[in-house]
């Protein structure tokens, strides 16, 4: 007889039949992490180029000086190549050239840190919002790395900076149901989308759109990050400290969906980024985090680590103020902002790796990962130490 019952999986409640896979649901754990980056560039050196690009606008200089960033990683350096004038087609061709080696390194290193091989995987999920290519990175990298031909693959595209968090939900649900390891890879190349000079800015009549570009160009950077998620039967990993992915939740305020966007133009992707984004996050972040924690019997006092996406210094301050977090709690996010800038979807995973390598997450305590992106959407993941 087939019995249908409701099963609670990370991030969702679904109805499944009483199959062997469902009867033997496993807990999904992060067992490996890795980060790969292109060459490092000093923020001050980039400003030397963008000073002229932004017509030496005093506000632009102030934005760059207050970014909280000391260095970033750029696969394509506008000081060396005329990237601001490239067509979208030229940028997409370069995306493939740069994304493959970065993705390959992050994926391979994450598997090594987990003590697993590509043949062990059941799912490969790739996250990116900064480039498109078909066949996709999921197919190209799975072939290069020797992943099984019958392995499941999925691309999570165009979700922006928060995409790693629903990515964690996707791979954890697969692991919980199928009992096989999964690999999540985020690859972002924001440097490909340096925009042409603005006629209005150079004419001395800057627009709101001009200031959005100033902020975006002061923040975004390149990088890849990967995590391996495996069922609880896998051996413990010293690197990952065995964090269970307990749940993923989201909150979307569609009334301000125009506050953040990633617009495809003839000259790459153009960021739309309202200065009011921090105010929206202030309205929603406390409810999202407290709901996520209380659903699983926790409070903020149980949180031993925070991986908060640094969309910018203002966003970090707004979130920290609303959640009443200490400087120590937000230090990993500020550290990654200072050293890497905003690497879009990869950033949360980069922070998570730093957190796992520098902080003790006590047994029974939790980590909260937060990402923010288009929608306007907040995503949160609850990870628990065992």
Catalytic residue flag (residue 129)? no
Listed residue (296, 318, 301) closest to 309, CA to CA = 318
Structure tokens that stand for 23 in this block: 């009867």
DSSP string of 192-220, one letter each residue: GGPPPPPHHHHTT---HHHHHHHHHHHHB
d(CA 43, CA 85) in angstroms, rounded, equals 22
State the burial class of residue 90 (Cβ atoms within 10 Å of its Cβ: 0-12, 13-18, 19+). middle
Would you say 222 and 343 are in contact if contact means Cβ atoms under 8 Å apart?
A: yes
CB atoms within 10 A of CB 139: 16
The contacts of residue 155 (CB under 8 Å, 6+ apart) are 125, 126, 127, 128, 136, 137, 138
* Spatial CA neighbour of 140 closest among 107, 167, 163, 174: 107
Alpha carbon separation from 31 to 34, 232, 236 (Å, rounded): 11, 10, 7
Alpha helices in 115-180 (DSSP H): 137-145, 164-178
| Closest to 293 measured CA to CA, from 356, 362, 385, 384 | 384
What are the C-alpha distances in Å from 103 to residues 76, 226, 272, 350?
16, 8, 26, 14
**Calpha distance 382→368 (Å, rounded):** 5
Longest distance between any two alpha carbons in the chain, whole Å = 75
User: Residues 129, 161, 186, 343: which is the catalytic one?
Assistant: 161
Q: Looking at the annotation, which residues are catalytic?
A: 161
């Amino acid at each position: 007889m087939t019995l249908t019952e409701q099963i609670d999986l990370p991030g969702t409640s679904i109805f499944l039949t009483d199959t062997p896979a469902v009867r033997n649901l496993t807990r999904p754990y992060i067992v490996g992490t890795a980060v790969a980056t292109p060459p490092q560039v000093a923020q001050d050196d980039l400003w030397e180029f963008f000073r002229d690009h932004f017509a030496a606008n005093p506000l632009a200089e102030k934005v760059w000086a207050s970014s909280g960033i000391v260095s970033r990683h750029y696969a394509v350096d506008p000081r060396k190549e005329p990237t601001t004038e490239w067509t979208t087609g030229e940028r997409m061709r370069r995306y493939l050239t740069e994304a493959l080696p970065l993705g390959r390194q992050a994926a391979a290193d994450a598997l090594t840190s987990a003590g697993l091989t590509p043949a062990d995987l059941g799912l490969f999920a790739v996250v990116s919002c900064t480039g498109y290519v078909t066949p996709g990175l999921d197919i190209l990298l799975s072939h290069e790395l020797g992943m099984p031909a019958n392995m499941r693959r999925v691309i999570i595209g165009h979700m922006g900076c928060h995409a790693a968090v629903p990515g964690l939900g996707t791979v954890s649900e697969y692991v919980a149901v199928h009992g096989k390891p999964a690999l999540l890879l985020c690859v972002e190349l924001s440097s490909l989308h340096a925009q042409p000079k603005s006629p209005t800015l150079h004419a001395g009549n800057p627009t709101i759109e001009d200031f959005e570009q100033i902020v975006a160009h002061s923040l975004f950077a390149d990088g890849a990050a990967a995590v391996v998620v495996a069922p609880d039967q896998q051996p413990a990993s010293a690197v990952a400290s065995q964090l269970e992915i307990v749940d993923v939740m989201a909150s979307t305020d569609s009334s301000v969906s125009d506050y953040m966007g990633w617009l495809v133009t003839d000259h790459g992707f153009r960021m739309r980024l309202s200065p009011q984004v921090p105010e929206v996050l202030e309205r929603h972040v406390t409810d999202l985090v407290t709901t996520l924690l209380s659903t699983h019997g926790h409070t903020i006092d149980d949180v031993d680590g925070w991986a908060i996406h640094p969309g910018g210094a203002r966003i970090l301050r707004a979130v920290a103020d609303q959640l009443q977090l200490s400087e120590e709690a937000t230090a990993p996010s500020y550290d990654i902002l200072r050293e890497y800038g905003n690497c879009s979807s990869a950033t949360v995973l980069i922070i998570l790796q730093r957190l796992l390598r520098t902080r003790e997450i006590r047994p029974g305590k939790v980590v909260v990962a937060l990402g923010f992106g288009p929608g306007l959407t907040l995503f949160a993941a609850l990870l628990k130490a065992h």
